[in-house]
Amino acid sequence: MNLLEVHKVSKRFGGLQALNRVSLHVAEKEIVGLIGPNGAGKTTLFNVINGVYRPEEGRVIFRGRDITGRMPYEIARLGIARAHQIVRPLNELTVLENVMVGACFGRENRSLRGAREIALAVLEQVGLASKRDMVAGQLNVAEKKRLEMARALAARPYLLLLDEVLAGLNPTEVAAMLEVIRAIRESGITVLMIEHLMHAIMNISDRIIVLDYGEVIAEGTPQEIARHPKVIEAYLGDPRLSYSLLEANGG
């Protein structure tokens, strides 16, 4: 069964067509990678899915229900959580308190005690339990990314949207984060993730969707995508991306 269906969604900013009739689906318990050059429209698509932007045309169907144009807090309650590209924790609160806030805005209505229990469990899940009493502002980049994941997970989502959670991490931290994401899927949560690190996304995704100039240009298994002529063409203009594509192809 499809957990998420996006049907011919378009979103424009003034004269710029950020998304042009984008259609895709995510099946239950899949890990789907969403890739594409800078400015392709990836984050905008997340913003449409979770209600930050209303598309000019098209529909977003989640668990069989049309959620197009719903407010972000409603969509969070329905079970879509998101980890943002730019992580902004509440710096004066502790790690635990930050995650409790996430639990309070989630799918289930929570008492403070319930929120604390969930927060402790997801901190364990993302490997941040030992930092729970630290003030969030003191975490390093990798820890802040884990905190952002924990905050999203505390909402008990069916679908987790991850926007470049591996960016800025060293190879060891990337490997550890991939393990966390796999474990999240094992726990029954579906993952749609935007990522620039090609070898990482190739490694973890069941299926990859490629956006370029607001359009889906390819979709397939990691192996298919790494060799797809349109994908190679789209990435040639970007040295960083074409290098990582080359790497993913085994040099």
Ligand X SMILES: Nc1ncnc2c1ncn2[C@@H]1O[C@H](COP(=O)(O)OP(=O)(O)O)[C@@H](O)[C@H]1O
User: Applying CB under 6 A, does 125 fall inside the site for ligand X?
Assistant: no
User: Applying CB under 6 A, does 43 fall inside the site for ligand X?
Assistant: yes
User: Applying CB under 6 A, does 55 fall inside the site for ligand X?
Assistant: no
Binding mask 8-47 for Mg ion (x = CB under 5 A): ----------------------------------xx----
CB-nearer residue toward Mg ion: 100 or 161: 161
Q: Report the alpha-carbon distance of residue 18 to residue 95 in Å, rounded.
A: 35
Residues 6+ apart with CB under 8 A from 59: 5, 6, 7, 8, 9, 66, 68
CB-nearer residue toward ligand X: 46 or 62: 46
Determine which residue in the list 3, 6, 9, 18 makes contact with ligand X, applying CB under 6 A: 18
- Kind and range of the H or E run holding 72: helix 72-78
Q: How far is the CB of 14 from ligand X (least distance, A)?
A: 7
User: Applying CB under 6 A, does 40 fall inside the site for ligand X?
Assistant: yes
Cα 137 from chain centroid?
Answer: 23
- Selection from ligand X, Mg ion, none that 36 binds (CB < 5 to 8 A by kind) is ligand X
Binding segment for ligand X among 35-43, 61-69, 101-109, 114-122 (CB under 6 A)?
35-43
User: Applying CB under 6 A, does 205 fall inside the site for ligand X?
Assistant: no
**Per-residue CA distances from 126 to 48, 77, 103, 132, 190 (Å):** 27, 22, 15, 11, 16
Burial 213-222 (b: 16+ CB within 10 A, else e): bbebbbbeeb
User: Applying CB under 6 A, does 197 fall inside the site for ligand X?
Assistant: no
User: Applying CB under 5 A, does 98 fall inside the site for Mg ion?
Assistant: no
User: Applying CB under 6 A, does 41 fall inside the site for ligand X?
Assistant: yes
What is the DSSP pairing of strand 65-66 with strand 57-62?
Answer: antiparallel
- Kind and range of the H or E run holding 48: helix 42-49
* Cβ pair 185, 73 in contact under 8 A: no
User: Applying CB under 6 A, does 244 fall inside the site for ligand X?
Assistant: no
Q: Report the alpha-carbon distance of residue 244 to residue 98 in Å, rounded.
A: 34
DSSP assignment letter at 204 = H
Q: How far is the CB of 235 from ligand X (least distance, A)?
A: 13
Q: How far is the CB of 15 from ligand X (least distance, A)?
A: 10
User: Applying CB under 6 A, does 44 fall inside the site for ligand X?
Assistant: yes
Residues that bind ligand X (CB under 6 A): 13, 16, 18, 36, 38-44
Residues that bind Mg ion (CB under 5 A): 42-43
